[in-house]
Structure 1
């Protein structure tokens, strides 16, 4: 099977097309013929070797990718699913070794796969599972109630944008950061208040909400720098494992999407919300899988709005 991976960790140039064995189809699993795989920052960390010690598979090639979309090709025995062969599907992938989304054939737990949103392209569908589930988990961990105030950093990004939209759908008041160039985009996503992004974003948020916000989703990975924006007893969700400053003044929840990678109900709810227009599927560009290195270079340069997607 054709995949894009690394046989030695390194920069974008380490990515190239590799042959990988066809994965066996066991009970409770389905096979997806992948046509689109979204590119995300976590893929670049895998490519560089940041997760090698965590991975139970300690041999090359390593294949990145946590988001896939395509066609359901096969259903394993004793599998609880209402999907049928031939359905257009999207999936979240937990990469291990050569098992990552950047491959044309992928076997997954049935609970990690659901139908693609009606009317979406495969590229659009591939942008939803991982960041959508991460945003959903972040909000669930904070446990905010309608009328409370949610702050979002990195609001123009994929994770941050979904948090803004899901928060608004749940009746929260949303304050979000943005560069001048991204301000209209973030307002269009639904933010009630937009502050300028930067190292002093906590001060800017406090200027708008002097008592502090009730919850903050830190999509820009500023960690300790954003904690002052949150009121005493409020909640913060982080996406790179940061656990707070130890003061206990605010509740800090590292948001690990692997915990919900088989939450079929949550994934299907995201599909419904995309179909209803609650969530916006944003594709920056689609590149052939053979150009994965260029996709990673473009991501590293920054300024990408929407997801870069590899096409198989």
Structure 2
């Protein structure tokens, strides 16, 4: 037997249970991964708490939990190419990441993902990359971010935001990041110029950047996108990841599945080069998954929350 985090009803962290489940095994074209870390994302608790969101993603009850994982291949099925027993891997498996073992198809397509973890990157850090890193890359690619841009990033201190800020800086952009005031020092360390979100955002951005912003990405709702439109940013230079398929004003909706093919490699190269850091705010053993989810869902954590096995 092995363990997996399961929920049989929609709700808050209290519905998540660590249970014994039958041990899965790799079939043809598949590998089995012994999971060592699972990085949490807002999507995880949204799917577990909101039936309408779960339906959109094809999640039915009972369900496993989590998407992002890192670990080690310990079984290789017949015909599975590119992976061998002992390979360190990272990836995404919707509703299956928070478990001792998971089986992944090779090759897999988004929203699932399986890739080798480069030497020099820990499993905890690797487990934060599939959703947050790829989504940040997609959000910036959608607006054609380039050197010399001044980009307004909404939700800059969140799990996706920490990647977006640093990727934008690496691209040569000036970064203005919306956040609560208690995260301002954190954002400055990442290279962003912070501005408080909430009513009056446009005026505060104007005061900080009289010459105006040239691009924007909204990683939390629509406030930043609407502000950018007000400030005269063309809709094709504004992206959103959490505003649904029809964001305001014709701005571009995107997500991690639309990241460029080399996005993950560029991110891991930057981590290895020391030009991109991944702030892991907290780690919890899988037995404390409820506590980990409560912290992550509170939206006040600076960086990523990781479950370990």
Which of the five TM-score ranges fits, normalised by the shorter chain? 0.7 to 0.9
Aligned-pair distance for 1:55?
A: 4.0
Q: Which residue of 1 aligns with 2:110?
A: none
Q: Which residue of 1 aligns with 2:103?
A: 107
- With over 3 angstroms needed to count, the CA separation of the structure-2 counterparts of 1:186 and 1:12, relative to structure 1, is same
Aligned-pair distance for 1:6?
A: 0.5
Task: Name which of structure 1's ranges 121-130 and 152-161 shifts more when overlaid on structure 2.
Answer: 121-130
- C-alpha RMSD of matched pairs (Å): 2.4
- With over 3 angstroms needed to count, the CA separation of the structure-2 counterparts of 1:29 and 1:212, relative to structure 1, is farther
Measured in 2, the distance between the counterparts of 1:228 and 1:178 equals 19
TM score, norm. by length of structure 2: 0.86
3-state SS of 2:39 partner: strand
- With over 3 angstroms needed to count, the CA separation of the structure-2 counterparts of 1:230 and 1:273, relative to structure 1, is farther
Do residues 296 (structure 1) and 293 (structure 2) align? yes
Measured in 2, the distance between the counterparts of 1:155 and 1:200 equals 18
- With over 3 angstroms needed to count, the CA separation of the structure-2 counterparts of 1:22 and 1:265, relative to structure 1, is farther
- With over 3 angstroms needed to count, the CA separation of the structure-2 counterparts of 1:230 and 1:44, relative to structure 1, is farther
3-state SS of 1:280 partner: coil
Do residues 311 (structure 1) and 308 (structure 2) align? yes
Q: Which residue of 2 aligns with 1:158?
A: 159
Describe the superposition over 1:248-301 as per-residue Cα deviations: whole angstroms up to 9, x where unpaired: 4xxx121222445xx764323322221112221221121121211111222233
Q: Which residue of 2 aligns with 1:68?
A: 69
Q: Unaligned regions of 5+ residues in structure 1, if any?
A: none
Q: Which residue of 2 aligns with 1:240?
A: 242
- With over 3 angstroms needed to count, the CA separation of the structure-2 counterparts of 1:199 and 1:28, relative to structure 1, is farther
Aligned-pair distance for 1:178?
A: 3.2
Q: Report if aligned partners of 2:219, 2:241 keep a CA contact under 8 Å in 1.
A: yes
Describe the superposition over 1:173-225 as per-residue Cα deviations: whole angstroms up to 9, x where unpaired: 2111233322221111122x332233332332233334542221112323454
Describe the superposition over 1:13-34 as per-residue Cα deviations: whole angstroms up to 9, x where unpaired: 0001134444453454332110
Measured in 2, the distance between the counterparts of 1:108 and 1:259 equals 21
Q: Which residue of 2 aligns with 1:185?
A: 186
Q: Which residue of 2 aligns with 1:276?
A: 273
Q: Which residue of 2 aligns with 1:266?
A: 263
Q: Unaligned regions of 5+ residues in structure 2, if any?
A: 108-112
Measured in 1, the distance between the counterparts of 2:199 and 2:27 equals 49
- With over 3 angstroms needed to count, the CA separation of the structure-2 counterparts of 1:254 and 1:234, relative to structure 1, is closer
- With over 3 angstroms needed to count, the CA separation of the structure-2 counterparts of 1:264 and 1:25, relative to structure 1, is farther
Size of the aligned set, in residue pairs, is 299
Q: Which residue of 2 aligns with 1:92?
A: 92
Aligned-pair distance for 1:303?
A: 1.8
3-state SS of 1:150 partner: strand
TM score, norm. by length of structure 1: 0.86
Q: Which residue of 1 aligns with 2:10?
A: 9
Measured in 2, the distance between the counterparts of 1:10 and 1:101 equals 19
- With over 3 angstroms needed to count, the CA separation of the structure-2 counterparts of 1:168 and 1:35, relative to structure 1, is same
Aligned-pair distance for 1:88?
A: 2.0
Measured in 1, the distance between the counterparts of 2:15 and 2:139 equals 33
Aligned-pair distance for 1:311?
A: 1.4
Measured in 1, the distance between the counterparts of 2:289 and 2:68 equals 14
Measured in 2, the distance between the counterparts of 1:212 and 1:28 equals 52
Measured in 1, the distance between the counterparts of 2:231 and 2:76 equals 48
